Structures are given as C-alpha cells and as structure tokens.
Structure 1
Amino acid sequence: MTSNIDSPAGPLQLSGPSPYLVTRTFAMRFTSTPRGARLARRLVAVRLDEWGVPYGSEPHEGVVLVAAELAANAVRHGHVPGRDFHLSLRVTQAPRPVARVEVSDTRAERVPLRTGRSPVAEHADGGRGLLLVGGIAERWGWFPRPGAPGKTVWAECALA
C-alpha cells in the first residue's frame, strides 16, 4: 500500500462561495482483496470528514457508498493475481462542491455496462452496484488506463 496525500491543512469549507479553487486529494493503492476494498471505503470516509464533509451527512454517505461499490467492483471484477487497485478521491469547492472518486484496476477486458438497467435476473443477489452508483452520482463512466493495462471507473457526486 502506498499513499499520496496532497491536502492543504484545515477543513474544506463547503458553505458560501469561494473566490479561488480549493482542491483536496487522496490517493492510495490497495490490495485487490475484500479487506483492501473495506480499507479504501474507511479511508474515504475519514478523509471526507477531515475535509469538512461530516459523517452522517447525505453527501458523505453518498460518496462513501460510491467509493465502496467501485472498490468492491475492482476486487470482484477487476482482480488480477498479484496486482493492486488504485483509488483516488478529489474534492473541489469551485465552481461548486464536487467529490470525484476514481478506481483503477488491471483488467481491461471487463468493462462496466451502461445499459441503465440491471443485467442480472430480477431476484439475483448481486449485479446492481452500478445502478446504485448511477442513482447517487451526478455522472460516472470509465476510460482505459493511460500507459498501463486496465481501466479506471470514475464517479462524481455533488456535495452541496
């Protein structure tokens, strides 16, 4: 696990307009295991709270759920033995408060479907995670990882 924390000191003030762009970033590699996905979710929750998006608030819960689903998908569908997944979280205040979660894995051939409905049977136990992401995030998508095998799945959530 490695981390790259590039954050100015102090909490992110989400109320009131800001004359300048405030950006907080957090990035880390995690083992491609359920434990790694759980740790990613917890660290996203901690960072958001430190940056002024408090535990229990609707924006906090939404971003954490999106991060958890993207991390779980990287482990379940993007796992390659011996390869980690990478999560990055970026919160910007201007022009409006937004959190962007990006999760990269090393499986390029398994990309998310954007059909708008679940590809699994109505009574199946899984397969609805990206429907949740689509319902919470303002927008989401994926792109091939530049210069490396795999893909990056991203989602942006409003914090206002």
Structure 2
Amino acid sequence: MNSELAGSALDARHYDVLLSATPRGARLARLLAVEQLRGWGLPLDAPRAIVAELAVNAVTHGRVAGRGFRLELLAWPGLLRIEVADTRGDRLPALCPPGRGLVLVDALADRWGVREGPAPGKVVWAEVSWGATSRRATPRPPSAHGTSGR
C-alpha cells in the first residue's frame, strides 16, 4: 500500500460485494460501483470504465463454474483503489492484442497490477487519483505497464 495511504486510514471508505461470474454480474458490478462512488461524492468516469473492464475480464477469463467474483472499492482523500478478485490465479492479465480492456485500464488508471488472491485466485487492481495527489500530471515511463504497476 502507498505511504500516502497509511496516514489517512481514518478517512478510508470501503465497499465490497460478491457477484456472479456472468455478464449480468459484470454489469451489476459497474452499476453498484457507480452508485457507491456517487454516494461518496467521488469522480465517476474513469472508475466506471475501469470497473466495467475488470469485471468483464473476471467473467470472461477468470470464471470457474459455480464461483463468483468480488468487487472491492477502497477510497481515501484523493485516491480510489478498485480491486476485482476472481478464481483463476493461473490466468494472469497482460497488455497484449487482441483485447483492448487492459489497454483502457492502463490509460485511465494511475497504477494497476495483479497479485495473488485468495487461493486459487488473483486480484487485479487499479488506482485512480485526483486533485493534489494526482500522479496523472507526471508523464509515465513507456516501459511501466501491467503487473509491475506504475
């Protein structure tokens, strides 16, 4: 976790929900995230698209019959962390054609990556910042992408 997050633990907000690994579950993840972020008074555009892409990826590439995926939102002043956990730890995401979903996540998020999740799964996460803490104002190195984060 970032050091800037440690000092603001009292200001943290948290939301998580378990959803079915179906197209309907992916759509519901986006709708629930938007309503939660709206309730917290946070920006919607980039997070909405990131949640949509990560949820669709969980349903498309991380699905195991009979198991769902988890959406988690963690917010601190100036920073939102989106996490989507699925049950396929053996299928790691990558920035490569033909898919465009992670290219979109890479463009919209300040940082993103993947980590081991509850066995046997993985967690794909993305961070979006705004205001004084935004890192988007600084250029990203061309080699920084994917599982290494930024």
- Confirm or deny a common fold (TM above 0.5): yes
The residue number in structure 2 matching 1:43 is: 32
The residue number in structure 2 matching 1:6 is: none
Mapped contact 2:51–2:82 kept (Cα < 8 A): yes
Q: How many aligned residue pairs are there?
A: 124
Higher Cα Rg: structure 1 or 2? Answer: 1
4+ residue stretches of structure 1 with deviation over 4 A?
none
Structure 2 residue 125 is the aligned partner of structure 1 residue 151: no
Q: CA deviation at 1:23?
A: 1.1
Structure 2 residues not aligned, in runs of 5+: 1-7, 132-150
TM-score (norm 2): 0.78
Mapped contact 2:13–2:76 kept (Cα < 8 A): yes
In structure 2, distance between residues paired with 1:33 and 1:52? 29
Partner secondary structure for residue 44 of structure 2: helix
Mapped contact 2:70–2:86 kept (Cα < 8 A): yes
Structure 2 residue 103 is the aligned partner of structure 1 residue 103: no
TM-score (norm 1): 0.74
Mapped contact 2:112–2:126 kept (Cα < 8 A): yes
The residue number in structure 2 matching 1:123 is: none
Structure 1 residues not aligned, in runs of 5+: 1-18, 54-58, 121-126
In structure 1, distance between residues paired with 2:24 and 2:110? 28
- Structure with greater proportional helix content: 2
> What is the aligned-residue identity percentage?
48
C-alpha spacing 1:149/1:20, structure 2 compared with 1 (3 Å): closer
